[in-house]
């Protein structure tokens, strides 16, 4: 019974990650809210666990998955426009820059109508995700109920989940497309099934049609590439000029800055000195050592080479974007011996390097995706914090200049006000700011000569002639920090889009579980609060490790694997030590969460990697204690599948509770997790919880 459970758990995690990754590339609203797609998967899986007494049927709902693929991938431009409008109608808000939306309505009613339509469409997509996952939960619940040893069964479930994570990671590493992802799912659908259940014609046709739609969507005139982070499309304009899109959104144009090309395009030659690629370097006297974070496909590196940089360190997180720049950029900056490419997260490099630079350029890092489906953070969140700017300042030589380029557009001009205030506070005087297509440029330095150069007539004229699209405010938005890194939020409030989708998911959870969730049983709430607390704990671990080791796909996989392995270790502990008094483990769990919250980790005298390892070990303690508590409680309960379902539904609430970090910050989620675990302890320790005690160990003579 353990091997089938392992296989089904493997399939469940694989399909969950497939759905989160794929739908996030095609429907923009899910690209920024991937943790909510995760919550929908959890909800479907939990509902399936409640149905464990029913026939298992097929591995997953092929009809739901096929309909989802058909709705997203149908190759009709008008429909693609509707999908774009759905995302825009749901997300527009002047207080949260989630993505640029053109044609802003002016009146409340004009906003309300597209908002309601968009919410309805998103609810439909979420229901299809939920429906896809229900059969998987049913299979896992059935095997858990039938297992003679619940601890061994849970270990098999964790091992299968770990294998599912790494299979998808391997496909991402090989840069394979969704055709292959879905093909693997189809193989699992064929080979993992109830022998008594025939294939449904509708489901089989929809799955075959889904593969065809994927093929048509990604085999057109535009070349499509898949990185571990996102989908990239390249369009050739001729004359070695290319446009790159990320997740169907414009990302950048590869442009030549060579004298030969500029001499043949006089309009570009005249505009080039006023662009953000050239204008900032007019303020720089020494450019021997240049650091570019967010180097992209090479435009910034090409411009720095043209402006005389002797040595350039170009940091880029996405290996496919780097590969496209290396092969397609007309100036081939990445082939220059003066350019050293570092494939790493920008913040991780700033924290870890000991190099000193004459110029540090923050390229336009504004992200189109998240670093993890387990978090509501985007890849670039930790790049634009006070701590990140402080680390960049530390790496500047005495005469060094910091250049920050960012797309400041209406109605989100408050983002420019935030950067202006943050850099002014850090350097002790307001930065120089001007618009240089295609970005607003912020310049700051500790060198007095820099400010004297900026006062020269030619540079003063440049600044005056190109004002930024905002005016410095007397009351700027609050600064972003490593604890509150939400650069795209104006204030400590939950963005309307997050709040709306959370309400949709919460309403779905209440409606779909109202007849399944045994609300009068304390054991139900015990597992529910355990699930909610653990999801928050897991989120914290992933986001904190990203801060110290980088928000890369590799760090994500290692973090999730470490969590699963720690839970397996907790299972072995339960098997060997047979804990009877869980109250001690609850106390240790809550105490460790509070200790992690209280300790000022950033003040400890350790290097970044050592501190990250220490923090990972510290988080390992509450994960282990939580694992022991869950496993022993799960062993004692009578209805395994329903208890597992309650735990998963609790994780749904824990996922939605992450949104509290927009108000209280990331670290405070540890205290919220501690509250959930205290509630679990109260419910689980009550005599009416109904858990059967562990049988006493027989006496030996």
Tell me the pLDDT band of 689, cut-offs 50, 70 and 90: low
Q: Check: CATH 3.40.250.10 for 231-368+386-465?
A: no
Of residues 690, 692, 686, the one with CA closest to residue 583: 686
- pLDDT-based confidence at 62, cuts 50/70/90? confident
Confidence of residue 499 (pLDDT cuts 50, 70, 90): confident
pLDDT, greater one: 190 or 598: 598
Hunting for tokens 């889904």 — which residue is that? 210
Instruction: In whole angstroms, give the CA distance from residue 684 to residue 570.
Output: 19
For a pLDDT cut of 70, what percent of the chain falls above it?
Answer: 90
Among 275, 263, 317, CA closest to 293 = 317
Has residue 77 got a pLDDT over 90? no
Predicted TM-score of the model (pTM) = 0.90
Domain boundaries, the chain: 2-219+487-688, 231-368+386-465
pLDDT the model gives residue 91: 64
DSSP state of 107: S
Q: Counting beta carbons within 10 angstroms of the beta carbon of residue 299, is it exposed (0 to 12), middle (13 to 18) or buried (19 or more)? A: buried
- Please name the residue that has the structure tokens 């470490």: 562
CB 178 within 8 A of CB 22: yes
Residue 379 has pLDDT above 60, yes or no: no
Lowest mean pLDDT among 41-45, 236-240, 486-490, 510-514: 236-240
| pLDDT value of residue 307 | 93
Strands 357-362 and 289-293: parallel
Q: Exposure of 239 by Cβ count < 10 A (0-12 exposed, 13-18 middle, 19+ buried)?
A: exposed
d(Cα 199, Cα 187) in Å, to the nearest integer? 13
Residue with tokens 């030549």, as numbered in its chain: 256
Return the CATH fold of 2-219+487-688.
Growth Hormone; Chain: A; (1.20.1250)
Tokens of 427: 């350097």
123-135 average pLDDT score = 92
pLDDT over 60 (residue 24): yes
pLDDT of residue 603 exceeding 80, the answer is: yes
Average pLDDT of 481-497?
A: 89
Contact 375, 541 (CB under 8 A): no
Distance of alpha carbon 426 from the chain centroid? 28
Q: Quote the mean pLDDT of the chain.
A: 87
Q: Which residue, among 372, 260, 526, 261, has the nearest Cα to 32 in the 3D structure?
A: 372
Query: Which tens digit of pLDDT belongs to each residue from 294-333?
Result: 999 999 999 999 999 999 999 999 999 999 999 999 999 9
């Amino acid at each position: 019974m353990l091997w089938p459970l392992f296989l089904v758990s493997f399939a469940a995690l694989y399909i969950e990650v497939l759905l989160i990754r794929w739908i996030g590339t095609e429907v923009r609203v899910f690209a920024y809210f991937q943790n909510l797609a995760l919550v929908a998967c959890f909800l479907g899986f939990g509902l399936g666990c409640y149905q464990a007494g029913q026939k298992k049927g097929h591995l997953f709902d092929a009809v739901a998955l096929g309909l989802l693929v058909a709705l997203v991938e149908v190759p009709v431009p008008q429909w693609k426009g509707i999908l774009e409008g759905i995302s825009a109608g749901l997300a527009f808000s002047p207080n949260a820059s989630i993505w640029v939306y053109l044609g802003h309505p002016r009146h409340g009613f004009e906003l309300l109508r597209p908002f309601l339509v968009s919410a309805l469409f998103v609810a439909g997509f979420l229901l299809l995700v939920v429906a896809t996952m229900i059969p998987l939960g049913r299979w896992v619940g059935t095997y858990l109920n039938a297992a003679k040893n619940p601890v061994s069964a849970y270990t098999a479930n964790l091992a299968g989940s770990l294998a599912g994570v790494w299979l998808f990671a391997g496909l991402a590493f090989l840069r394979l497309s969704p055709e292959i992802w879905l093909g693997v799912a189809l193989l699992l659908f064929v080979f993992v099934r109830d022998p008594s259940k025939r294939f449904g014609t509708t489901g089989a046709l929809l799955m075959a049609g889904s593969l065809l739609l994927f093929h048509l969507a990604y085999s057109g005139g535009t070349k499509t590439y898949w990185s571990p982070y996102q989908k990239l499309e390249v369009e050739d304009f001729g004359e070695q000029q290319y446009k790159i899109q990320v997740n169907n959104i414009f990302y950048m144009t590869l442009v030549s800055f060579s004298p030969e090309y500029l001499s043949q395009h006089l309009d570009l030659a005249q505009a080039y000195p006023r662009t953000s690629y050239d204008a900032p370097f007019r303020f720089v006297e020494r450019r021997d050592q240049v650091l570019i974070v967010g180097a992209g496909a090479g435009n910034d590196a090409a411009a720095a080479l043209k402006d005389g940089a002797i040595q350039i360190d170009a940091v880029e997180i996405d290996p496919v974007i780097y590969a496209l720049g290396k092969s397609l950029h007309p100036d081939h900056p990445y082939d220059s011996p003066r350019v050293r490419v570092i494939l790493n997260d920008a913040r991780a490099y700033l924290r870890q390097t000991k190099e000193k630079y004459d110029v540090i350029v923050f390229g336009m890092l504004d992200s189109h995706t998240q670093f993890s489906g387990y978090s509501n953070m985007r890849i670039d969140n930790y790049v634009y914090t006070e701590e990140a700017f402080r680390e960049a300042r530390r790496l500047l030589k005495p005469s060094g200049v910091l250049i920050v380029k960012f797309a400041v557009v209406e109605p989100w001009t408050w983002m420019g006000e935030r950067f202006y205030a943050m850099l002014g506070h850090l350097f002790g005087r307001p930065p120089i700011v001007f618009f240089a297509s295609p970005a607003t440029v912020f310049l700051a330095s500790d060198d007095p000569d820099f400010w004297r150069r900026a006062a020269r007539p030619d540079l003063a004229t440049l600044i005056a002639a190109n004002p930024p699209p905002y005016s410095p405010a007397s009351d700027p938005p609050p600064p972003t920090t490593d604890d509150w890194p939400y650069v795209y939020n104006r204030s400590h409030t939950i963005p309307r889009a997050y709040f709306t989708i959370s309400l949709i998911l919460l309403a779905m959870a209440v409606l779909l579980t109202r007849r399944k969730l045994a609300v009068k049983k304390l054991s139900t709430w015990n597992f529910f609060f355990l699930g909610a607390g653990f999801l928050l704990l897991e989120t914290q671990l992933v986001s904190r490790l990203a801060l110290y080791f980088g928000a890369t796909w590799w760090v994500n996989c290692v973090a999730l694997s470490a969590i699963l392995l720690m839970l397996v270790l907790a299972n072995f502990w339960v098997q060997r030590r047979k804990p009877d008094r869980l109250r001690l483990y609850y106390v240790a769990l809550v105490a460790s969460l509070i200790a992690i919250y209280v300790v000022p980790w950033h003040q400890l005298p350790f290097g970044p990697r050592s501190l990250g390892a220490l923090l990972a070990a510290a988080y390992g303690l509450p994960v282990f204690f939580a694992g022991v508590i869950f496993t022993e409680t799960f062993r004692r309960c009578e209805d395994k599948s329903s208890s597992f379902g309650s735990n998963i539904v609790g994780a749904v609430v824990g996922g939605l509770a992450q949104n509290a970090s927009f108000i209280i910050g990331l670290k405070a989620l540890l205290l919220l997790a501690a509250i959930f675990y205290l509630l679990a302890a109260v419910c689980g320790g009550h005599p009416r919880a109904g858990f059967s005690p562990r049988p006493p160990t027989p006496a030996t003579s």
